[in-house]
Chain A
Amino acid sequence: MKSTSYSEKVLDHFRNPRNVGEIENSDGIGKVGNPVCGDLMWIYIKVGKNNNGEEIIDDIKFKTFGCGSAVATSSMITEIAKGMTLNDAYKISRNDVAEELDGLPPIKMHCSNLASDALKAAINNYRKGTKPDIEIITSCQRELRIILGIDEFLGKGVHEEVDDLSIFNNKRVLIENTGNDSLELALELTKYTGRVVVITSGKITPGSPELKKELKHSDVKILYESELLEIKGTDDVEKVVIHDFDEDENYELFVDKVIIL
Chain B
Amino acid sequence: MSVLLFTIIVLIGAFLAGLLGSLTGLGGGVIIIPLLTLALNVDIHYAIGASIVSVIATSSGSAAAYVKEGITNIRIGMFLEIATTIGAICGAIVAVYLNANYIAILFGCILIFSAIMTLKKKVNHTTLDDTDKWARFFKLNGSYPDRGVDHPYAVKHIPGGFFMMLFAGTLSGLLGIGSGALKVIAMDNIMRLPFKVSTTTSNFMMGVTAAASAVVYLHRGQIDPGIAMPVCIGVLTGASLGSKVLLKTKTDKLKIVFAVVVVFLALQMIYKGISGL
Same complex for A and B? Answer: no
